[in-house]
Amino acid sequence: MIGIYGGTFDPIHYGHLRPALDVYQALPFSEIRFIPCGEPPHREMPYANRQQRLAMLRLALANQPVFSLDEREMRRKGPSFMVDTLKELRAECGQRSLCLIIGFDAFLGLDHWHQWQAIPELAHVLVTHRPGWNKSEIESQSALGQLVELRQIAPEGLTQHPAGGIVFLPVTQLDISSTRIRELVAAGKDARYLLPDNVYELIKQEKFYGPPC
């Protein structure tokens, strides 16, 4: 089973890495692929350019062999739609189980994604959430509520089919944001302990986010 973990990673930090490790340790994944978004379709462009974000990801993932970097969205021109990425992966992986890993907040906006209804046909959807989450937030949204009602399965069901299920999994959620890290760096303040040391050293050395001269 392959985990698919997308995001801008601008920069990558422990709020990305720790949940990914929790997911890997909870379920029988062969690998977790980090797929950085080249051109986000639903938000502003990243502050760091593509090569800078790739450099940070390579450093962050280097010491964890089950984490891998997939650069396909960085090479693709135009908006980075996850449905296109999943179509490519499905063609490459055949009937292997694919699992799109997204946070609870991102899942609440899934019905605004490009061709979102095709996503469960291409991969399972694994929704990570904090312990003690409130399912009523989903039930209040009719489209997502119906999707969950039809497709929610137990975690062990993820390996039984290549796609189609929805699983909710509690993970360690760290209140860390890329925005806050960029703000600290730009202000000349210390952002250590929020992200891997080697990534932080690269950010400072290359002045990806400031501070201004």
Contact between 90 and 122 (Cβ < 8 Å) = yes
pLDDT tens digits, 13-33: 999 999 999 999 999 999 999
Q: What pLDDT does residue 144 have?
A: 87
Q: What pLDDT does residue 140 have?
A: 63
Tokens 């490519």 found at: 88
Residue ranges, the chain, pLDDT below 50: 213
Report d(CA 63, CA 81) in Å as an integer. 29
